[in-house]
Amino acid sequence: MSAASRTTTTPPQAPGGGRPFGARFVSPLLLGSTLNPINSSMIATGLVGIGLDFHKGAGTTASLISVLYLCSAIAQPTMGKLATILGARRVFVGGVAILLLAGVVGAAAPAFGFLVVSRALIGIGTSAAYPTAMALVRRRADETGTGVPSRVLGNFSIASQVTIVVGLPLGGLLAGAWGWRALFLVNVPLALVTLVATFAGVAPDEPVAKRSRASLFTAVDVPGIVLFSATVVGLLLFLSDLTSPVWWLAPVVVLLGAALTVWERRTERPLIDVRMLGRNRRLLRTYIRQAVVALGTYTALYGLSQWMEESAGYSASQVGLIMLPLSGISIVVARLVSGRGWVRTPLVLTGASLVATGAVMLFVTHASPVPVLLGMSALFGLANGFSGFANQAALYVQAPADEIAVASGLYRTFSYVGAIFSSSLIAIAFGRTATDSGLHEVSYVIAGLGVLVLLMSVLDRAIPARAGR
């Protein structure tokens, strides 16, 4: 046997030795990335208690939900931009530190306004995690030559599915045992654990070159951040209530978007590289596809939950049990798809699953037996599981390596647009009460969105079959 035939391939190793994507490296990034969605859902269990303590109505306390979404939609790409300048690990740690502060402010809040500030800080702090985590994963993959780390990306998708299951029960447990202040205070130990794990498992960034204030202002693109923030806030406010639209916001959003585009084309270091997006049409299509998928999945999730409580007469705990197949199947499918690195086929199946979900929903009534509702939940779980990894992997292979942090943040922004738009669609379909006829109108929307995802996936030849090297 020749020496050449006896040669074996040495597995990739991290710069300091060991597996490049071992638990020490990945765990803090996964934990940090779950802090935003888990805070989004936990607060729902404490709104009544907060309203009673501070003598606020349901509309006022609901602002604690919307302020986090608004701040997150703006902060995700902004944090990604800061990561490219200051270093991904530094921004990740900084975001966790902001979360720790937010937990203290919320837990000790003497007035309702402090809770609004705390939720805004939670949105900003937790928004640093996902874009910086993607940048750190990309940096490690490029250093070790591992190609696309499909299983790692799959783990991020699975982590988001787990938080759907954990958020509400955890919030109910905390609020029931220690009151609503525990929903804020819990962020303190979570932040401390994440910080310790990050310092232990994630290598420090390279030293940052010294810059003048003017140079830093240009590098960060402060005007671009301001224009982007104004555009996103205007868009989300317009989409959040289409039952009685604020029509003057529509031309304002168009003008702000135009001003943002003009500025980003002229500036040297743009927050949103519109020239790159103009050339990289496949990445732009991935953003739009993610917004459509988010719109479909959130419409189904919130619409079904509301209908089961108001029309079918199930309690909140019973609805949670009926929706369990959604999360369980999503996790299994995401693990299967990510383990094989499939991208195109899962996106096609996402569209098909949404169409099937809408078709079944069309024949469901308040008298439908539980097995039918469980089957509908399972179909929706297929759509959720197929799309989670596949769109994320498409983003990973389509975004330039040096812009992965901003690209990942913008990816989350498009998801928030879909999520907030879904509330308006549900309100239009249901009106004051979630009836069977309203559910059937929602079913047409979900099936239509499924057809759109299906066409976007089949016709887009730039989507890779697999997440290759």
Query: Residue 341: pLDDT above 90?
Result: no
Query: Are residues 76 and 409 in contact, defined by beta-carbon separation less than 8 angstroms?
Result: yes
- Pick from 154-158, 351-355, 419-423 the range whose average pLDDT is largest: 351-355
What is the maximum alpha-carbon separation in the chain? 83
> Of the candidates 283, 215, 72, which has an alpha carbon nearest to the alpha carbon of residue 274?
283
Distance CA 438, CA 204 (A): 53
> Of the candidates 128, 103, 97, 96, which has an alpha carbon nearest to the alpha carbon of residue 117?
103
124-153 burial, b at 16+ Cβ within 10 Å, e below that, comes to bbbbbbbbbbbbbbbbbbeebebebbbbbb
- Give me the pLDDT at residue 3, please: 44
Query: Residue 132: pLDDT above 60?
Result: yes
Residue 423 CA, distance from chain mean position:
16
State pLDDT tens for residues 65-87. Answer: 888 888 998 999 999 999 988 89
Say which amino acid occupies 272: I
Contact residues for 372 (Cβ-Cβ < 8 A; gap 6+): 360, 364
**Helix then strand then coil, % of the chain, to nearest 5:** 80, 0, 20
Q: What is the dihedral of CA 320, 323, 327, 330, to 10 degrees?
A: -170
Mapped onto helix, strand or coil, the DSSP state of residue 12 is coil
- State the Cα angle at 103 between 157 and 75, rounded to 5°: 50
Token pair, residue 192, equals 């401390």
Residue 313, CA atoms < 13 Å, CB-side half-sphere: 5
Residue 203 DSSP one-character state: P
Backbone φ, ψ for residue 2 (5° rounding): -75, 165
- Counting residues of the chain whose pLDDT is more than 90, the rounded percentage is 38
- Give me the pLDDT at residue 352, please: 94
Query: Are residues 365 and 457 in contact, defined by beta-carbon separation less than 8 angstroms?
Result: no
State pLDDT tens for residues 185-216. Answer: 999 999 999 999 999 999 998 887 776 565 76
- Give me the pLDDT at residue 38, please: 86
The angle that helices 404-430 and 436-459 make with each other, rounded to 10 degrees, is 150
Contact residues for 369 (Cβ-Cβ < 8 A; gap 6+): none
Please spell the DSSP secondary structure of 209-266, one letter per residue.
PP--HHHHHHHHTHHHHHHHHHHHHHHHHHHT--SS--TTHHHHHHHHHHHHHHHHHH
Query: Residue 452: pLDDT above 90?
Result: yes
Query: Are residues 164 and 113 in contact, defined by beta-carbon separation less than 8 angstroms?
Result: no
> Of the candidates 461, 337, 397, which has an alpha carbon nearest to the alpha carbon of residue 138?
397
Strand pairing partners for 342?
466
More confident residue, 65 or 264: 264
Mapped onto helix, strand or coil, the DSSP state of residue 342 is strand
State pLDDT tens for residues 135-173. Answer: 999 999 888 887 778 888 888 878 876 776 677 677 778
Continuous segment of H or E residues that includes residue 308? helix 281-310
More confident residue, 378 or 158: 378
CB atoms within 10 A of CB 3: 6
Token pair, residue 17, equals 């030795």
More confident residue, 32 or 243: 32
Say which amino acid occupies 417: V
Range 250-274 average pLDDT: 91
Distance CA 468, CA 278 (A): 24
- Give me the pLDDT at residue 459, please: 93
Strands annotated E in 269-358: none
